[in-house]
A = this chain, B = another copy of it.
Amino acid sequence: MIDNINQRLANLREVLRREHLAAFIFPSTDAHNSEYVPDYWKGREWISGFNGSAGTAVVTLKSAALWTDSRYFLAAEEQLKGTEYQLMKLKMPGTPSIADWLGEELADTDLTEIGIDGMVNSYSFVSGLMSDMKRHGGITVRTNFDPLREIWNDRPCIPEKQVYIQSLDYAGEDVKSKVSRVRKSLREKHADGMLVSALDDIAWVLNLRGDDVHCNPVFVAYLLISTETVTLFINKVKLSSSVVSYLEENGVSIQPYESVKEGLAKYSEYNILLDPAETNYTLSKAATCQEVIRAQSPIPLMKSVKNDTEIAGYHQAMIRDGIALVKFLMWLKPAVEAGGQTEMSLDRKLTSLRAEQPLFKDISFDTIAGYEAHGAIVHYEATPETDIPVLPKGLILIDSGAQFLDGTTDITRTIALGPVTEEQKHIYTLVLKGHIQLELAKFPDGASGTQIDALAREAMWREGFNFLHGTGHGVGAFLNVHEGPHQIRMEYMPAPLHHGMTVTDEPGLYLAGKFGVRIENTLLIKTYKTTEFGTFLEMEPLTLCPIDTAPIDVSMLLPEELKWLDEYHKYVYDKLSPYLSEDENKWLENATKPLKL
């Protein structure tokens, strides 16, 4: 692999020299600004060997570096070992920005241009980069060149998988209603059209799903919505005759995927909204309409507020997910005690139990099963090289989820496989306190996730602990497991929280080289009460799975925290027990028995 990377870098540099480019930047996203991308767009992974979902590789004629966030520090270190890539830890003191680093690296070169593929970088990112590079000795940025077309010989194709209809029984709102709401929102922004690039937004508007992206039921396309027309730019081989008819019935015309630029050009008399964070630079610049309105797309907020059908779907999906999880947890300890289990074998077992459930389509992301020290690698994914035996002691962190036709799930449990240390109990309980405090929170309608984030952290802050990832994200309705616009995190996220949104609650603590703890439920945000001081929200758990009580130091819990845990466990038991065998119910009864009598 290291030899591969070196050869690829050599080939790249040859092309760069020919094109008089001092450097090239490879982001982690695709032409649709996706978090998870089809293989065709995994150029950053191909050129660097780093396979995390977030990271940017920058290669100059003499050096190479890769920027990623704290979730991937340990994984990236591992994967870049032996290559010439320098690891740049985002948000850590002393880490230069890409522009600053390039400024330094290119100080002694005669070349004054760097390259980036404008098709796979958002307008915001490229505009920011251009102005930053200008300040660094007037370096310019070329955006119309993709060296991967030449040097990536066995590059995969853009997927051509079949698109399918998401039944109204699960979607709960038809296409005409959704399009009409989008148009209304566009009018409020003084726009009479918009280009939708985000694949999950397209899938949501059209009630269609696909299999183009690993774990995300979306398909590669663009959607142009104007006051009169709806046009889907897509490779027609992906559409069965029934989907074609369905689109016709819904007033959606079909154009080739590659013709989106020309399609956009037809709207020269329109004010087209192009979300600068979502639309890629090349398309953004190609728009020749009367006015480009660079504003947030209205669709993520609409999509994030779930309708009653979707909410009912989550509840159903969570029961099936919970059944699979109970079967898994009941199997887990005896299996580990019997020996021969590894992180990967546990993952396979859990996935197979989920796959047995009705309406299961796929997992919603690659399972993270990290035993002891591996649990401290926030986005660890076991590979044959890293896989280790799991023993009947210590903690295993399992973060997993499923795509059911009626809902997407996302859950983390940290489980004591046998004796745990006092330190493990202490850390586990701090995380649990944070988790519970967030579930207990009431807050004003429209508060941002940033405003309530501290509630999940204060218990650990009191002791000088912290975690550097977000505390919560939206979860799609049989769509992407990470869904915006809202997030709960330390960094400012202005998107308001409202009734009907889903959000995860997943604080964690990671002691490098020792172990990691994360406890995650997916929650539903609901109206709590309206008073003279406004409307207040609360959150109710959607996830149905016991939280391991073995590693809890009960003396650290407040009475309200203990009460929440006991009530949650009763709720889990009541919801799942009708579907379980006698043995399973016995196990669940024990796993959910109250800590406080």
**Interface residue ranges, A against B (CB under 8 Å):** 440-444, 447-448, 450-455, 458, 461-462, 464-466, 490, 492, 494, 512, 528-534, 536, 558
Is B461 in contact with A443, judged by CB distance below 8 angstroms?
A: yes
Q: Which residue of B lies closest to A452 (CB)?
A: B454
A558 CB contact (under 8 Å) in B450, B494, B558: B558
**A461: B residues at CB distance < 8 A:** 441-444, 536
Contact across chains for A451 and B536 when beta carbons are under 8 A apart: no
Contacts of A529 in B (CB 8 A): 464
- A447's partner among B442, B448, B490 (CB-CB below 8 A) is B490
User: Bound state CA distance, A450 and B454, in angstroms?
Assistant: 10
Interfacial chain B residues near A462, Cβ < 8 Å = 440, 442
Question: How far in angstroms is the closest Cβ of chain B from A21?
Answer: 27
A453-B451, A490-B451, A492-B492 given as contacts; is B558 within 8 A of A465 (CB)?
no
With A458-B441, A461-B536, A462-B442 already in contact, the answer to whether A450 and B492 are too (CB < 8 A) is yes
Copies of this chain, tallied across the complex: 2
- Would A466 and B534 count as touching, CB distance under 8 A? yes
Known contacts A464-B528, A558-B558: does B444 contact A492 (CB below 8 Å)? no
**Quick check: A450 and B450 within 8 Å, CB to CB?**
yes
| A533 and chain B: residue at smallest CB distance | B466
- CB pair A454 B443 closer than 8 Å: yes
Give the residues in chain B near A444, CB-CB below 8 Å. 461, 466, 490
Given contacts A448-B492, A464-B533, 18 further A-B contacts (CB under 8 A): A441-B461, A442-B461, A442-B462, A442-B464, A443-B458, A444-B490, A451-B453, A451-B454, A451-B490, A454-B454, A464-B528, A464-B536, A465-B531, A465-B533, A466-B534, A466-B536, A512-B532, A558-B558
A446 to chain B, nearest CB (A): 10
Give A454 to B466 CA distance when docked, in angstroms.
Answer: 18
Distance (Å) between the CB of A560 and the closest chain B CB?
A: 9
B442, B451, B533: the one contacting A450 at CB < 8 Å is B451
Q: List 22 A-B contacts (CB under 8 A).
A: A441-B454, A441-B458, A441-B461, A442-B458, A442-B461, A443-B454, A443-B458, A443-B461, A444-B461, A447-B454, A447-B490, A450-B450, A450-B492, A451-B451, A451-B490, A454-B454, A454-B455, A455-B455, A461-B536, A464-B531, A465-B533, A466-B536
